[in-house]
Every structure is written in structure tokens, then in C-alpha cells.
Amino acid sequence: MKTFFWLQWVVSRATLVVSTRRVKLAFDVDDVISTVDVQQHYNQLKVKLASASVRHYERTSNDDWAAGVLRGRVLEAREPTNAKEDNHFLAVTITQAQISNLPPSWKEELHPKLLEQKTSTDSMWEIYATLAPLEVVLQPSVLENIVSLVHQMSPRSFCPLQGQVEQRVSTWQWPFCYVTAGGLRLLVTTEDENSENDDTFMFVVGKVTVNPHPENPICRSVLKSTF
């Protein structure tokens, strides 16, 4: 009898607000889909965020919250350059499997370097993540407010560990990470929206890809087999 466990949890919208007496930051996420899949051959966790953004607000003289400069934009996703691409904000898939229990057809899809490595553990971890192109709007006052919030949330004191810490041999294996990020556009601007002068610096980072098994594009032949 084949047994498995599958659970999906959907959150339509969630907001985290961090505030002080005069400023606040709002972290908004929409359509968060989390899936847990426990099978005989593998365990898998999937998390997908349709959209996410960060905005800042300032308290007015009427004791109300008003959006900051540029409608309070701090972080948001840009439109993908390719219309055929999935426009989700973030998608992460974490898979844990025991290599000896995998069917032969599944082992053929694994990278040869993964099967050749000699480790004391028989398990493997893989992380696939895709991130949408991001745009960050940074202003001196917003940066100052973020630093102030972090300072207020940091612990005032800490208690160091007493006694000698026992050293244990860990069998932890680092996962194989496959990451594709759509890029980053950082705008450093002033607080004057009506300024006619040049008041914005733009830093652009293109698409970033992380692969634990990159293919060497340059063909090389062995000159001396003794090396």
C-alpha cells in the first residue's frame, strides 16, 4: 500500500507593519501558496508568492498616516521583459530525497557529479528559486528610518553561553541551489518630487543565475596525462 501526505495552505493577503511614533513600514504579500508533499521517495516543500511590496508612511500633523515620497515606494517587482515568463514575485522549491530509494528513471535525471560524490550521507537536498525583477527606491530619510527601526528592534543585552560547548560531528550536507533572479534596479533619489535638476542615481544589475554544476563553455584537451 502506497502512503503519502499532501497539504496546501493558501493565504490571499498578509501585511506586516513595523512602526514608530512618526514612521512605519508596511510589508505586503499577496496570494501565498505553500505546499507540503511527503512521498516514499522524497519530501518536498513549495512556496510561491504572487506579489510583494514594501512601502513607508509618515505621521501627519492630524495624527494620520500618509504615504511618503513617490507614494511611499521602497520595494516592488518590475514587469518581466519577456511577456511569456511567469510574473510571480518569488517561487521556492525545497526537495529532500534519499538517493538509494530513488527509482532508476529518476537517477538518470540527476547530475553525474551528484552521483559521483562520496559522502557519509545518502540523502540529497535541492533548492530551486526564481525571483522577479525588483525595483528599490531609496531615499536618505527612508534609510534613516529603516536604521532607526532596526536599532529599536535589536536586543538591548545578551546572555553569553556559560561553560564549554560540546563539539559534535555534524552530518549536514549543503544543498544544491539553483537560483534565477530577474535583476535589480536601485534608484537613489532625493525627497523633492518637483525638482527640475538631476536628483536620481540609478544602479542596474541584470539577470543573475546560480548553478552548482556550471558547464565549461571552453573545450580543453589534456596535454600531459601526468598532471
Q: Is residue 219 part of a domain?
A: no
Cell for 8? Answer: 496546501
Q: Is residue 217 part of a domain?
A: no
Q: Which domain holds residue 178?
A: 5-152+174-190+199-210
Q: Is residue 56 part of a domain?
A: yes
Please give the Cα distance from 97 to 30 (Å, whole number): 30
Q: Is residue 225 part of a domain?
A: no
Nearest-Å Rg of the Cα atoms of the chain is 24
Please give the Cα distance from 143 to 220 (Å, whole number): 49
Task: Please compute the mean of the pLDDT values over residues 27-31 and round it to a whole number.
Answer: 93
Q: Is the pTM of this model over 0.75?
A: no
The pLDDT of residue 158 is 63
Q: Is residue 111 part of a domain?
A: yes
Q: Which residue has the higher pLDDT, 164 or 101?
A: 101
The pLDDT of residue 128 is 93
Please give the Cα distance from 22 to 144 (Å, whole number): 12
Task: Out of 78-82, 153-157, 198-202, give the one with best mean pLDDT.
Answer: 198-202
Please give the Cα distance from 149 to 127 (Å, whole number): 32
Q: How confident is the model at residue 2 (pLDDT cuts 50, 70, 90)?
A: confident
Return the ∠ at Cα 82 (arms to 76 and 88), rounded to 5°.
Answer: 40
Task: Using the structure block, give the residue that is written with the C-alpha cell 539553483.
Answer: 178
Does the pLDDT at position 122 exceed 80?
Answer: no
Q: Is residue 159 part of a domain?
A: no
**How many domains does the chain fold into?**
1
Lowest mean pLDDT among 61-65, 171-175, 205-209: 171-175
Q: Residues 84-94: pLDDT tens digits?
A: 556 789 999 99
Q: How confident is the model at residue 12 (pLDDT cuts 50, 70, 90)?
A: very high
Neighbours of 90 (CB within 10 A): 19
Q: Is residue 215 part of a domain?
A: no
Residue type for position 28: D
Q: How confident is the model at residue 165 (pLDDT cuts 50, 70, 90)?
A: low
Q: Which residue has the higher pLDDT, 201 or 173?
A: 201
Q: Is residue 138 part of a domain?
A: yes
